[in-house]
Amino acid sequence: MDGYFPIGATRSRTLKSAISCVGTGLHSGARASLTLRPAPFGTGIVFRRTDLGLEIPARHDAVNDTRLCTCIGEGSARIGTIEHVMAALAGCGVTDAVVEVDGPEVPILDGSAAPFVFLLDCAGLTESALAAPEIEVLRTVRVTEGEGPDAAWAELAPGTGPGLEAELSIDFGSTAIGRQSLSLRVTEDSFRAVLADARTFAMAEDIARLRAAGLARGGSLANAVVVDGPLVLNPGGLRHSDEFVRHKLLDAVGDLALAGAPLRARFRGHRSGHALNNRVLRALFADPRAWRLVDAPEMPAGVLSSAGATARLPMAASPA
């Protein structure tokens, strides 16, 4: 793969072979095992709880919790912290895969998407002869939280070209973070070079409160950047001077990958997080005039995926 296809303009892709890893759940602190498996072209991205024997489609309308991560499923049948693996799949143009986990959370690994990209590189990718369907945004939708100059917001608008354009700004009181912004067209090259290795982060003063609430129990300096006022507490410091906004944009790529098919759109946000990223997708699909599904050509009879099953279009919301 040459890496020059924008996300949303690639052909359907899946893995050549299965590959696994073991780590720790960021919020649960429990051991977590993950396996990425090939899927027939047209399957989309599906999460599978191997301990429960159930599958959950990677869809915006399956999201039930956005507190410090994106979680799909209901009750005990849920899978949390899916945003980094989703970002890696989207960033590498993978449209069809099964993501198996043996519990309620994806392992956090180093807190970025880079380990998942490494797994995909090791497994190898294969693509179909036909382009993948995509979701084209036709008119702007915006969601907001708060009022005045401190309001957070996210919007999806028609793109100026193929694939996903993304622009995000953040503003934190901690002087180690402050105000940062980033704008780029998300291609495989730009995802790998700019976003993939940016780590999740937390404020030192928030950690005790989060753990008391049952969150961040698996967090450490090995899988998160921790800041205390003007200080970055990680011994190695930052990977990039703007690592914080890079990671927030990485999260947005993963959250927007829950559209059900690649987006042909422009994303803009200010202080946007998992909740607003999910809300803007729900707002998009609530307005049938705001989007359309651009179907891939029909798969010729007898064309099979690497898994040997007849291809079909991925699941995506349909206009009313």
Is residue 298 scored above 90 in pLDDT? no
Higher-pLDDT residue of 20 and 312 is: 20
Give the pLDDT confidence of 162-183 residue by residue, as tens digits: 899 999 999 999 999 999 999 9
Encode pLDDT of 83-92 as tens digits: 999 999 999 9
pLDDT for residue 313 is more than 60: no
pLDDT at position 71 is 97
- The answer to whether residue 205 scores a pLDDT higher than 60 is yes
Specify if 6 maps to a domain. no
The pLDDT of residue 296 is 56
pLDDT number for residue 221: 94
Cα 222 to Cα 26, 184, 273: the distances in Å are 11, 28, 23
What value does the mean pLDDT of the chain take?
A: 89
Query: pLDDT at position 131, please?
Result: 84
296-300 average pLDDT score: 47
* Domain span at 49: 11-294
Average pLDDT over residues 229-239: 96
The verdict on residue 107 lying in a domain is yes
**How many CA atoms lie within 13 Å of 50's alpha carbon, on the beta-carbon side?**
12
pLDDT band (50, 70, 90) for residue 150: confident
> Buried (b) or exposed (e) across 285-296, using 16+ Cβ within 10 A?
beeeebbebeeb
**Token pair recorded at residue 249:** 């944009």
- The answer to whether residues 272 and 108 touch, using CB atoms and an 8 Å cutoff, is no
On whether residue 261 sits in a domain, the answer given is yes
* Per-residue pLDDT, 210: 86
DSSP letters, the chain, are --S-SBTTSSEEEEESS-EEEEEEBTTT-SEEEEEEEE--TT--EEEEETTTTEEEE--GGGEEE-SSS-EEEETTEEEB--HHHHHHHHHTT---EEEEESSSB-B-TTSSSHHHHHHHHHH-EEEEEEEPPEEEE-S-EEEEESSGGG-EEEEEE--SSSSEEEEEEEE-SSTTT-EEEEEEEEBHHHIIIIITTPPPEEEGGGHHHHHHTT-STT--TTTSEEEETTEE-STT--SSTTHHHHHHHHHHHHHHGGGSS-EEEEEEEES--HHHHHHHHHHHHH-TTSEEEEPPPPPPTT-B-TTSSB--PPP-----
Q: What is the pLDDT of residue 10?
A: 67
pLDDT of 300 strictly over 70: no
pLDDT at 266 over 90: yes
Domain membership of residue 123 (yes or no) is yes
- The question of whether 274 is a catalytic residue gets the answer yes
pTM for the complete prediction? 0.89
- Residue 116 resides in a domain: yes
Q: Is pLDDT of 56 > 70?
A: yes
Asked, for residue 312, whether it belongs to a domain, the answer is no
Q: What residues does 294 pair with on adjacent strands?
A: 134
Question: Which of the given ranges, 8-12, 28-32, 304-308, has the highest pLDDT on average?
Answer: 28-32
Per-residue pLDDT at 15 exceeds 80: yes
Distance CA 72, CA 90 (A): 17
pLDDT classification of 149: cutoffs 50, 70, 90: confident
Instruction: Assign residue 187 the CATH number of its domain.
Output: 3.30.1700.10
Contacts from 212-217 at CB under 8 Å and sequence distance 24+? 214/27, 215/27, 215/67, 215/68, 216/26, 216/27, 216/68, 217/27, 217/28, 217/29
Is 33 contained in some domain?
Answer: yes
The pLDDT score that the predictor gives to residue 8 is 39
Do residues 29 and 23 make contact, with C-beta atoms less than 8 angstroms apart?
no
The domain total for the chain is 1
Q: Which two tokens stand for residue 27?
A: 């919020």
205 vs 210: CA distance, rounded Å: 10
Query: Within a domain: residue 315?
Result: no
Which of these is catalytic: 60, 84, 247, 274?
A: 274
